[in-house]
Structure 1
Amino acid sequence: MNKNFNIYANKAIRIIVVINLIQVILVTGLITVYLLRDNLSFLPINSFDLLLISLVSISLINNFLVLKDIRVVRDLSLQNNMKSISLQNISELNNVLRAQRHDFLNHLQVVYSLIELNEYTEASNYIETVYKDIIKVNRSLKTSNAAINALLQAKLVDCENKDILVELHIDTRLENLIVPDWEMCRVLGNLIDNAIDAVKESKEKGFINIEIVEIDSNYVFTIRNSGKSIPKEMLDSIFEPGYTTKRNRGEGMGLAITKKITQKYNGKITVDSNQSVTTFSVYIPSE
């Protein structure tokens, strides 16, 4: 469904652009004819002026509406993509939870058998291993927003697969979050992905710290990472569209989009970087 929607949306945009170009060509032709009107004896000047003004006015109004529609279609397409990603993350998290529930009885049977055999040390080690697996999932299930929980779980798994030490601290349920989940996931996804890229560029084993708290009527989302620092002269430019520090990788739109979404809901984003850690903080009003 998501793929079909994107196909139709892209076709609609292309058709609209083509129609718009045809109108521009027609208006250009009319203006050219108007400039050469003295040579046109078959059409009264007054009638031609009226026709030209009418067509140009209609074309300008239509162009404005078309551009507005293109923006709406693109926003809907982007929103659909983000919701599709969120649903995929939720589905994967649900599968993990179902697997844990399915294995729970088996774990109990193993522990019971080890205790019955007086293998207390083995039972303790087994419980500790199982407990760590459960904690890995449960630490991301602390907010009331399923999409954000699923995103955080997906990023934790990604960090683990890339051998990045990650710490997650959540001290709020985000019950009054005014940002739609698909946009908040976009903000967090951009910042965490940037942190992962920064850590991977470093030759040393790095870390990422993700913190979500509520302070002074604001939800504060903080992402810290080790790795190469951002030069001070670049800090004011990293939120500009097209600006990137990834050389040949990336389009430089992630932070610009993150700032735009944050400001859209009367929030703000800050950045601080030194030789040991880079910190991005997003503040969203909770009231």
Structure 2
Amino acid sequence: MKASHLYWVLLAAIGTIHLNFFLKNLSWDVPIYLVSLPVIVMVYYLYKKTIFDIKSIGLRWNLILLALQLLLVSLYFAVEPSSAWASFVPLLIFMGLEAIRINGSRKIFDLTRSVLEYEEQQEQINETFRVVRGERHDFLKHVSAVHFMLENGNEKEAKHYLDKLVDGYEETNLSIKGERGVVAGVLHQMYRRAQQSGISVVYDLDLPLSTLPISDSNMVTLIGNLLSNSIDACEEWQKHHREQAVLTMQFYKRSGLYLLVCKNNSLPIPTPVLDELYHSYGHTTKGKGHEGLGTKMVMDIVEAHQGFLDFVYRDEEFTVKIKIPAIR
């Protein structure tokens, strides 16, 4: 049994003991299996809603909190409470300790995730900068090569060379024009990842995504998750159909609203997953090893900015449409 699963089992057992002694002091003779039922339901609810790993606070603090919980339970046997209120105090302390554990784990989990996201953003920006710097460094060499071909009457060869050169520059230009550094880094990285997988990518952006009234960290989460999920779906679709998948991201402004639309090929998605997608954690089409965090995080960002998110799956094409008011 995993340590995290053992934790939830112990939590249910300790909670049952506390509730059982509290009910006994109320002179309610309730069978233990009925006492444990509401505790198990509550623990299961917390288990489903808690997206972080309780091990994030470390073994030492988990052991300290567990020791305190066991000490509380031992009080029932050392000094039997004389009233319901006396047994209610340990129950409150038990819930308080668990609140500390859960809140502490959540904060550490969020900080750890933020650090990892920052490192990833830095790596993306550095990679984009390296590509731009390399293209700038080689620009005069390309001009000299084209000039030489034209001087020697090799117009067709020069045109072919220029076409290949423009294609390469277009890849970078699509990602960085008018964008803030972190946004350009995400767009460029996702474009290259899709290209390496043989996916056709189209960025149809009427204006830079950086004009969205969203912070850099939220922008990276929003765009990164949308494109990453789309690329994953396209890769699976290509494997199944042995055809090139298409991913399109559109961004434009209409009537005081920013509209962001992401379309991609996708294999059929189970109805239960579709019903809960973007609305709760733990729903994913990627199989084991994925927690289904990305879609809910996207929805949280949209809602935090008074936006609206809608998605449609039809004829093996998945479309996400996000509307965000143009308010800063």
TM exceeding 0.5: yes
Give the Cα separation in 1 of the matches to 2:132 and 2:251.
Answer: 23
Bigger CA drift: 84-93 or 257-266?
Answer: 257-266
Letter in 2 for 1:114: M
1:224 corresponds in structure 2 to: 263
2:307 corresponds in structure 1 to: 267
Give the Cα separation in 1 of the matches to 2:325 and 2:137.
Answer: 40
Q: Deviations over 1:180-223 (max 9, x none)?
A: 32232222222222222222222322110011223333333221
Give the Cα separation in 1 of the matches to 2:271 and 2:123.
Answer: 38
Letter in 2 for 1:264: A
The answer to whether the aligner puts 1:163 opposite 2:198 as a matched pair is yes
Note the 1:1-287 alignment, pairs <5 A: 12-35=57-80, 61=96, 63-174=98-209, 177-202=212-237, 203-230=242-269, 234-239=273-278, 240-248=280-288, 250-287=290-327
Which consecutive unaligned segments of at least 5 residues does structure 2 have?
Answer: 1-54
Letter in 1 for 2:72: V
Bigger CA drift: 188-197 or 87-96?
Answer: 188-197
Deviation at 1:255, TM superposition (A): 1.6
Deviation at 1:269, TM superposition (A): 2.0
**TM-score of the aligned structures, taking structure 1 as reference length:** 0.81
Q: Deviations over 1:153-174 (max 9, x none)?
A: 1111111111111111112234
SS in 2 for 1:172: coil
Give the Cα separation in 1 of the matches to 2:109 and 2:162.
Answer: 50
Runs of 4+ in 1 over 6 A off after TM superposition: 49-59
Which consecutive unaligned segments of at least 5 residues does structure 1 have?
Answer: 1-9, 38-48
Whether the 8 Å contact between 1:229 and 1:278 is mirrored in structure 2 is no
Deviation at 1:82, TM superposition (A): 0.8
SS in 1 for 2:283: coil
Give the Cα separation in 2 of the matches to 1:225 and 1:54.
Answer: 55
Percent identity between the two aligned chains: 23
1:45 corresponds in structure 2 to: none
**TM-score of the aligned structures, taking structure 2 as reference length:** 0.72
Deviation at 1:30, TM superposition (A): 1.8
Return closer, same or farther for 1:63/1:172 CA change in 2, 3 Å cut-off: same
| Equivalent pairs, count | 269
Whether the 8 Å contact between 2:183 and 2:209 is mirrored in structure 1 is no
Return closer, same or farther for 1:139/1:18 CA change in 2, 3 Å cut-off: same
Q: Deviations over 1:72-126 (max 9, x none)?
A: 2211111111111111111110110011011001011111111221222222222
Return closer, same or farther for 1:55/1:186 CA change in 2, 3 Å cut-off: same
Whether the 8 Å contact between 1:190 and 1:254 is mirrored in structure 2 is yes
Across the aligned residues of Structure 1 and Structure 2, the Cα RMSD in angstroms comes to: 3.0
Give the Cα separation in 2 of the matches to 1:73 and 1:265.
Answer: 25
Give the Cα separation in 1 of the matches to 2:61 and 2:322.
Answer: 37
